[in-house]
A and B are shown apart, each in its own frame.
Chain A
């Protein structure tokens, strides 16, 4: 349902990092951003959502499996190129009072909601937009 709204241009989905579990969380976040430099942001997102290897070697191995430039990926990780970006998103989430994950917001309104409530809220908002023309 949400995918259909995104396909039709009614909605878009954004992901923002929260670091609640220390270095493994930070490594996963930095690896995802470094993968994004080579067009593999969502590959790393789905990878970390489906497995529990949060090591540096595991991230480099996954980059190699995607045929990415592993040297560039390694340098991106070691330089902590996106540390400021990730920490900024985390600080923003904490400032909004989001200390539990996952937290979903729609148009920067509301707080933590479950999937069913999210779908219902999005559909209601889409219906309002359709009526407005």
Chain B
């Protein structure tokens, strides 16, 4: 009897231990998913942030790549300007129309082509202003030259109005009496003796 009770006790004890173990196993199984879920959430957050950063990096990389492409395109503009039928300072748009090149070496040749943009364009404006200044100086020199000619003509006209005698009221310049532009010139070759 006692042996049976011991066996039963052992069985119960074993059962209890199994139950405890089972409970312990169950409890450990329930915590692991929680931990894994939390870890998954954390990992997902980390992945999302990482993805977002990576995406941002990729976007910035794409932007940099696009900027670099734009720079390359601008750098290649002079070549494109020089190629084909495009004249200096213009870009061939491919549809037959030509637009002013930006930052090109185009020199302003008129209002139809529009002002050049960029540093070289400003230099072109400066050259245009300098050319205008040169033209104004040339005109000023021409005007001063004309003034000098007029002064010489006025000096040649310097004379006097004879106040007395039978030539009173006539314009005289040394040995000449009358209008210097008169069509008839009477010249007397004479000796006072």
Contact = CB atoms under 8 A, between A and B. Distances in A.
Interface of A: 2-3, 5-7, 9-21, 24-25, 28-29, 32-33, 36, 39, 41-42, 45-46, 48-49, 54, 89, 93, 96, 98, 101-108, 118, 122, 125-126, 129
Contacts of B188: 13-16, 102-104
A13 B186 contact: yes
Contact of B192 (A5, A36, A42, A49): A49
Contact of B175 (A15, A20, A106): A15
B4 interface: no
Contacts of B174: 33, 36, 41
Contacts of A98: 189
B177 A12 contact: yes
Contact of B165 (A16, A46, A102): A46
Kindly list the 9 A-B residue pairs having the minimum CB-CB distance in the complex, ordered from nearest: A12-B178, A11-B184, A48-B192, A6-B178, A28-B192, A102-B190, A9-B179, A12-B182, A21-B193
28 contacts: A10-B184, A11-B178, A11-B185, A12-B177, A12-B180, A12-B184, A14-B175, A14-B177, A14-B185, A14-B188, A15-B175, A16-B187, A16-B189, A16-B190, A18-B191, A19-B191, A20-B193, A24-B193, A25-B192, A25-B193, A29-B192, A36-B175, A42-B172, A42-B177, A54-B192, A101-B190, A105-B189, A122-B186
Contacts of A18: 189-191
Say which size band chain B's interface belongs to: 20 to 34
A125 B185 CA distance: 11
B38 interface: no
A108 B169 CA distance: 26
B182 A11 contact: yes
Contacts of B165: 42, 46
B193 A54 contact: yes
A12 B189 CA distance: 14
B176 interface: yes
- The listed residue with most B CB atoms (<10 A of its CB), out of A5, A11, A32, A93, is A11
Contacts of A7: 169-170, 178
Contacts of B172: 41-42
